[in-house]
Chains A and B, each alone.
Chain A
Amino acid sequence: MALKSIKRVKGRGVQVPGDAIDTDRIIPARFMKCVTFDGLGDYLFHDVRKNDDGSDREHPLNEPRFRQASVLLSGSNFGCGSSREHAPQALYRYGFRGIIAESFAEIFFGNCTTLGIPCLGLPKAAIQALACAIDRDPDLEITLDVELAEVRYLDQVSPATIRDSARTALVSGRWDPIGDLLEGLDQVHAVASKLPYMAT
């Protein structure tokens, strides 16, 4: 069940600066009162973007010049905390197709990969340089090259990090593992049969 191969993602960028931006910040828990993921994009970073009366606060995502951004830049340990897939779902539905950060929390990274959102790691200095370039020209095209593990813009080529398993899954179009897992069902039953509590 191969899906679209994700070798590279191109788009404009926006930086949401800060370290340890947790999934509660990305999507506050009260917006998870839903039985589908539809509409979650509207609440992305809600509590740091909106005042109590619903008016906009100062936030990069509220700036019209970044409205077209599809690549998100942030700091270290991005996506820490709750395992809620609502966080990557909200990012995706808002329009993000790739994330660049110094490092990612593990569950979040896995959730993003499964949705086909590449998460590339760059050193702090390289992220700052890219953020400055975006600030000068918000229309700047950024390429997240998953296959080559690098980020490119203008004449810059920055080597990036991505876990091998995620890179392989994205590039080969097998980032949603359900097809592979279903193929192994006979072996699943064989392994389960050795464990007494797995019997019906």
Chain B
Amino acid sequence: MGKTLFEKVWDTHEVRRLSNGQTQLLVDTHLIHEVTSPQAFGMLRDLGLKLAYPHRTFATVDHIVPTDQQTEPFADPLADAMIKELQRNCAEFGITYFDLASGHQGIVHVVGPEQGITQPGTTIACGDSHTSTHGAFGAVAFGIGTTQIRDVLATQTMALSRLKVRRINVEGKLPPGVYAKDVILHIIRLLGVNGGTGYAYEYGGEVFDRFTMEERMTVCNMSIEGGARAGYVNPDETTFEFLKGRPYSPKEHEWDEAVARWRSYASDPDCEYDDVVSIRGQDIPPTVTWGINPGQAISIDDRVPTVEGSPEEEKALVDEALSYMKLEPGSPIKGTPIDVAFVGSCTNGRLSDFVETARYIKGRHVAAGVKAIAVPGSQGVAVICHEMGIDAVFREAGFDWREAGCSMCLAMNPDKLIGDQLCASSSNRNFKGRQGSPTGRTILMSPVMVAAAAINGGISDAREVFGVHILAEA
């Protein structure tokens, strides 16, 4: 019987079984950033340990960097101390660091693929739950805690329990105006925020076969929001095409060998999954969240749920969400006024997100009273956007065009909501307080839907705002 990609990767990376039954798993690629790594280096120093494979750890700075003015020292002394600490740790332990001056800095999950560091059939770990993004390349990628970062630094391994694999097929075609973000929001809405516990999600089917790498990354990115520790797509020609010629991709004769190896990791046709879920692409609507977790999502045409109309076991959480979000139960979500619009993050801060959004905002303007910001996921994305004139389109439409970073996805830098502002956001989490204000409110959606909301001043159906026939030509 054949094996899944997950099984193949696991088996080639299993070092040994530990006394508690977990696996000591080799981590090929370790990505670090300034927020979750400093304590790990502290632990390493306390134990007098060195790095086992320093050339397999790559660092960048993303969470705390200001996006308006990036000259050091930063105005925030705490942020400045963190970036200096990362600099010191990388220098002391011999780690490649894509810093602000490198031209390659950005959100760690944008930088890895951009540099060709993220490769099929590899194991990847990073102290960030959205590490599942890298699964888009057919890698098995885990978000880890700080103590595990220490483990990976010191041994290039970590202790982990094997996951089951759920195949999620999305068949057919997506309707015009429905994006990768809608696909993952729909999947989470269907399977629940903890439906993926114990699983890696393998995404496939015609919709994924046709998806670009960036679309696959958007879906894999939010696997964790569905409770799945990892999510991946089998590597194919689209994957290899994306990786060809990137700085860290294999070169010359090594390229063909690498492609052959990568191809061999794809799930076998006769492999057996622990679970299979099939969804029809045509059933997926433009999807928005209404509540305080990514599973609390509805179609743009739906009404905000009521407590009475919700299943018994969800009533308390629906009630909590409604009162936090200050939304009228039973009323249409469409038309809900917004204060802020955010396009960016490791979910939707890539080149195609800005290119696609720019097509529709060109010649239009953000509604009065709405603060709109666009934050490229990396310096690389920013440079190409500039060359293509995309940044100018955003600026002319009334967006603030910023420098690369995580920005308002989690608001560890100065980009924050104020009071109970409501934000139409292309990011990944609508948790209470997530965007920096304890009472701030987030509605998650695709970047094009964020643009529609920004231009209309309220939650809108991009198909209506921009014209479904125009979207269909995309």
Could you list which residues of chain A lie within 8 angstroms of chain B, going by C-beta atoms? 18-20, 22, 24-25, 28-30, 32-37, 47-48, 52, 76-77, 80-86, 88-89, 103, 105-107, 110-111, 114-115, 163-166, 168-169, 172, 174, 176-178, 180-182, 184-185, 187-188, 191-192, 194-198, 200
Contacts and interface: CB of A to CB of B under 8 A. Distances in A.
Given A36-B42, A82-B129, A107-B229, A181 B24 contact: yes
Contacts of A185: 52, 155
A110 B320 CA distance: 28
B17 to A, nearest CB: 10
Nearest to B291: A20
Contact of A165 (B22, B35, B224): B22
B57 to A, nearest CB: 12
Given A83-B145, A114-B145, A195-B28, A180 B18 contact: yes
Given A20-B293, A85-B145, A107-B143, A198 B56 contact: yes
A164 B316 CA distance: 31
Interface string B151-167: 10011111101000000
B38 to A, nearest CB: 4
Contact of B154 (A24, A28, A114, A182): A182
B181 interface: no
25 contacts: A20-B293, A24-B432, A24-B433, A34-B82, A35-B42, A35-B82, A77-B193, A80-B193, A81-B429, A82-B429, A83-B36, A83-B131, A85-B127, A107-B229, A110-B148, A164-B20, A165-B22, A166-B20, A172-B20, A174-B19, A178-B150, A180-B24, A188-B26, A188-B52, A197-B250
Interface in B64-79: 64, 76, 78-79
B144 A32 contact: no
A22 B85 contact: no
Contacts of B103: none
B194 A77 contact: yes
Given A36-B42, A107-B229, A174-B19, A24 B28 contact: no
B103 to A, nearest CB: 24
Contact of B431 (A19, A24, A180): A24
A88 B53 CA distance: 28
A77 B411 CA distance: 24
Contact of A80 (B18, B148, B227, B412): B227
B28 A103 contact: no
Interface stretch (B8-16, B170-178, B345-353): B8-16
Given A77-B227, A163-B161, A172-B20, A192 B12 contact: no
B197 A103 contact: yes
B101 interface: no
Contacts of B224: 81, 83, 107
B88 to A, nearest CB: 10
Contacts of B293: 20, 22, 80
A5 to B, nearest CB: 13
Contacts of B119: 197
B82 A111 contact: no
Contacts of B197: 103, 105-106
B147 interface: yes
Contacts of A33: 35, 64, 76, 78-79, 82, 412
Residue among A36, A168, A174, A197 with max Cβ neighbours from chain B (10 Å): A197
A28 B198 CA distance: 26
B21 A29 contact: no
Residue among B49, B147, B412 with max Cβ neighbours from chain A (10 Å): B147
Interface string B208-225: 000000000000000011
B157 A188 contact: yes
Contacts, number: 212
Contacts of B385: none
Contacts of A35: 38-39, 42, 81-82, 85
Contacts of B12: 191, 194-195
Contact of A106 (B155, B198, B431, B433): B198
Contact of B193 (A20, A36, A110, A188): A20
Contacts of B150: 178
Given A107-B145, A168-B20, A83 B127 contact: yes
The 10 closest A-B pairs by CB, nearest first: A85-B145, A47-B438, A111-B145, A33-B78, A35-B38, A168-B20, A83-B143, A85-B146, A177-B159, A83-B129
Contacts of A76: 194
Residue among A20, A47, A86, A194 with max Cβ neighbours from chain B (10 Å): A20
A168 B47 CA distance: 24
Contacts of A30: 411-412, 436
B128 interface: yes
Given A47-B433, A198-B28, A176 B147 contact: yes
Residue among B157, B158, B257, B434 with max Cβ neighbours from chain A (10 Å): B157
Interface string B24-54: 1010100000011011001000010100110
Given A19-B317, A107-B145, A195-B28, A178 B194 contact: no
B316 A19 contact: yes
Contacts of A200: 53, 55
A18 B157 CA distance: 35
A111 B147 contact: yes
Contacts of A180: 18-19, 24, 159
Contact of B15 (A48, A86, A165, A187): A187
Contacts of A163: 161
B449 interface: no
A33 B81 CA distance: 9
B341 interface: no
